[in-house]
Chain A
Amino acid sequence: MTQREKTLKIALAGNPNSGKSTLFNSLTGDSQNVGNWSGVTVEIASGRFSWRDHTLELADLPGLYSLSPHTPEQISACEFLINPDQSQLPDLIIDVVDANNLERGLYLASQLLEIGLPLFIALNMCDELDEKGLDLDAAALSKLLGVPCYKISATKEQGIEELLEAAVSHYDDADLFDFQRFSRGYYKPEIGLSEDKPFPSWRWTHQEGLRKGDDIQEEKDRDPGLSEWRYQVIGDIVGQVTRRKKTQKRQGISRKIDAILCHPLLAYPCFLVIMLLVFYISFGSLGLKLQGWISRGLAEGFVPVIRSFLEFSHAPLWLQGLLIDGVIAGVGGIMIFLPQLAFLFFFLSLLEDSGYMARVAFITDRLLARFGLSGKAFIPMILGFGCSVPALMACRGLDRRQRLATMIVVPFVSCGGRLPIYALFAAAFFARNQGLVVFSLYLLGIVVGLCSTLLLQPFLTHKQEKKTLFIMEMPPYRWPVWHCIRRRLWLRLKGFIVSAGSIILLASVVIWFLSNYNIRLQVVAEGSMLQSLGKVFAPALKPLGFGQWQSTVALLNGFLNKEGVISSLSVLYGDVGGPGGLSLALQSIFTPLSAYTFMVFALLYTPCVATIAALRREAGSTWFALFCVVWQIVVAWLLAFLVYNGGRLLGLG
């Protein structure tokens, strides 16, 4: 074969939620270049894999409804497909069409056809079609459209071999493609199409539009008759290739679930109960039990073994200290929270994949409208429970009017890195109501974020900009696919483990060193370098009820990375594996009130370095990122002050 050495570049395009990423993942496997964090693809992920004799490079594009982009992610997808630089273009496009949503999927296909690149249509989720009692004739569809169509199921990994086989062996087979068939025979002189010039000038309008960004078509009416015409033709075609076999049953189930979850009165209570359940299971019951086992294993099994080994091999005292009080206390102190994080991430994936997230957007839109946001903005906020960085990236899916406003909220949403702080403090001070205390903090983060965005709204948008739009597709409920959830869970946990093994490890060693030595490098109990540093900042935190240099240092370390707060406390209070020792140490220093204040402050006080970088990148402004940091510190201090002193006035201190 001639393409033996050549890498074939394939673009996966298609409507949002048509299963491109699922196809991408099942093709590339656990390929290294896959950087897809959440179900929402906002970046062009690419992955290489070899298939038979070929090397294939697959690009997973963000979902598109048409080639008229409205958000940054859609612009990047369009630019990938319509690139003036021919060498950058993909060799072929696989358009993933949800077979259950044929008309809208083919609407995009009708535009992709006109790009003129070899196009293959993957009719995805054909297994659901059977359940619905619909029959789809792929051969007839191929003939009518003039491009090859294949039935596949990305989740069940059916039909993918045939699709690839055809794509690889026939991509330069000119006979297969008849890009003009769609427009030929249907041409309508009255909307400007003709036999010799069947393609409208949309390509040029787009090239122009892409550069201008969001509100491209505002000034240019892009001939609405054309969209109408496309849908008309597609309606004809769909009518010819589908047949109903029997009545459907699946949608009935979806409707019954929605009758409860989107019920006028029950919707909000259901949402609260679901979220409370997630928090209760993750932090209250199962997660806590697992965490207990791990920390006991660490304290009673691992640490004594290491200690006796070090003593046996006559390791110098400083090395013993470094390993046990520095490395194991710091890294171990954070790793014991892995089970709780795993539960939280698992439930988040479940909510994302089942389709409930879209229902949440539907029921919260009206509430968010008051803050100048739409229901869609709720999705990045919930993703923020995992990590602020991918949540900020998910803001690319929002239109310009609400993007910055949502980006202000996201860092206030409590991420996974802050979780160990609550897990530890809530267990030590609020043993009976752990789930509730943690839930209150998560809620507080969102409320403060929303109030911030409301206060800052006048500075974010121009007056002439109208209200935000909210146009969203509502997917049917689907059973989450286990291997997709597992893959995503692993990706998210890997981030946590990697940071524990790198930055936390380093920070623990540095903190251990700085807290045990003074400026003349002598081992000291009092007057260490860290103590001096902590004492500089401690007075600022004194009015909040935690003026000890240790907690000040821990919070400073949290600036690098939120997990660092607890790992520093473990190192500073000489905790040797397991939260038992640290909890006791904290109980002698904090009161329940100052502990809660500490959690409030730690929740709000500043985004971590990675989040600040993401804010700067996504907003395209250093000032915006810096402003967010300052704003959060000020807000955190004021609120913590209110909580602490208000609590004392009420006699809670």
Chain B
Amino acid sequence: MKLHQLHPGQSGEVLAIDLPPATKQQILDMGVTPGVQVRLKQKAPLGDPLWIEIRGYDLILRKSIAAQIAVKV
């Protein structure tokens, strides 16, 4: 399952990130690392981007990036 497939309010654990190195590094720097708990808080009014909760703070990601992040509910 991918991060963008979570329902609003649903939590999951990050399993793997499949992105080009530079983008992946940027995501990792923000604390999205394998093993971390994430919660999809809400989607933007037009369905993209996503508002997630991670490591005690709120992060905004585009759906296209979230679709490359595998999660386990």
Contact of B31 with A467 in the complex, beta carbons under 8 Å = no
- In the complex, the answer to whether A222 meets B44 with C-beta atoms within 8 Å is no
B65 touches which one: A65, A218, A469 (CB < 8 A)?
A469
Query: Secondary structure at chain B's binding surface: helix, strand, loop or mixed?
Result: mixed
Set of chain B residues within 8 Å of A439, measured between Cβ atoms: none
Chain B residues within 8 Å of A374, by CB? 62
CB contact between B60 and one of A65, A215, A471 (< 8 Å): that residue: A471
Are B44 and A362 in touch, CB under 8 angstroms? yes
Does A231 lie at the interface of the complex (its beta carbon under 8 Å from any beta carbon of B)? yes
- Report chain B residues within 8 Å CB of A20: none
B24 lies within 8 A of chain A by Cβ: yes
| Stretch in A257-265, A405-413, A422-430 touching the partner | A257-265
Please give, as numbers and ranges, the residues of chain A lying within 8 Å of B57 by CB-CB distance.
Answer: 100-101, 104, 473-474
Are the CB atoms of B45 and A267 closer together than 8 Å?
A: yes
Which range contains the number of B residues in contact with the other chain? 35 or more
B6: chain A residues within 8 A (beta carbon): none
State how many angstroms separate the Cβ of A645 from the closest Cβ of chain B: 36
Partner of B31, one of A104, A215, A365, A375: A104
Across the interface, do A104 and B49 meet the contact criterion of CB distance under 8 Å? Answer: no
CB-based contact B61/A474 at 8 Å? no
Q: Is A224 an interface residue (CB 8 A)?
A: yes
| A331, B71: Cα distance in complex, Å | 63
Instruction: Name B21's contact: one of A70, A220, A263 (CB within 8 Å).
Output: A220
Contact A102 B56 (CB under 8 A): yes
**A626 contacts the other chain (Cβ, under 8 Å)?**
no
B33 at interface by CB-CB < 8 Å: yes
The reply to whether B31 and A103 contact each other, CB–CB distance below 8 Å, is yes
- Does B64 count as interface, using CB distance less than 8 angstroms? yes
Given A100-B56, A217-B22, A218-B20; A262-B30 close (CB under 8 Å) = no
Q: What is the CA–CA distance of A217 and B61 in the complex, to the nearest angstrom? A: 20
Give CA–CA (A42, B31) in the complex, Å: 23
> Which A residues touch B34, using CB under 8 A?
228
- Tell me whether A473 and B59 are in contact in the complex, defined as CB-CB below 8 angstroms, given that A65-B30, A262-B44, A362-B49 are known contacts: yes
Question: Is B68 on the interface with A (CB-CB < 8 A)?
Answer: no
Contact at B55–A215, with CB atoms within 8 Å? no
Beyond A231-B33, A262-B45, A264-B45, is A217–B25 a contact (Cβ under 8 Å)? yes
Max chain A C-beta neighbours (<10 A), residue from B44, B59, B65: B44
Within 8 A of A (CB), among B42-73: 42-49, 51, 55-62, 64-65
Decide yes or no: A365 and B22 within 8 Å by CB, A102-B56, A472-B59, A473-B58 being known contacts.
Answer: no
Q: How far is the CB of B62 from chain A (nearest CB, A)?
A: 5
Given contacts A104-B57, A474-B51, whether A469 and B23 have CB atoms under 8 Å apart is yes
- Residue on A with the closest CB to B52? A474
Whether A471 lies near B25 (C-beta < 8 A) is no
| Complex CA distance for A470 and B21, rounded to whole angstroms | 16
Question: Judging by beta carbons under 8 Å apart, are A474 and B45 in contact?
Answer: no
Interface residues of A in 463-480 (CB under 8 A from B): 467, 469-476
Q: Which residue of A lies closest to B31 (CB)?
A: A104
User: Inside 8 A of A486's CB, which chain B residues have their CB?
Assistant: none
A470 to B46, CA, bound (A): 15
Point out the residues of chain B lying under 8 angstroms from A220, CB to CB: 21
Cβ A375 vs Cβ B49 within 8 A: yes
- Residue B1 at the chain A interface, CB threshold 8 Å: no
**Alpha-carbon distance between A231 and B20 when the two chains are bound, in angstroms:** 21
- Contact indicator A231/B59 (Cβ below 8 Å): no
The CA of A215 and the CA of B29, in the complex, are separated in Å by 15
Query: Does the CB pair B29–A68 fall under 8 Å?
Result: yes
B24 cross-chain contacts in A, Cβ below 8 A: 224
A residues less than 8 Å from B61 (CB atoms) = 470-471
- Is B15 on the interface with A (CB-CB < 8 A)? no
Q: A70-B22, A474-B58 are in contact. List 4 more A-B contacts (CB 8 A).
A: A224-B24, A374-B62, A471-B27, A471-B60
A sample of 5 cross-chain residue pairs with beta-carbon separation below 8 angstroms, ordered by A number, consists of A68-B25, A467-B64, A470-B61, A471-B60, A474-B59
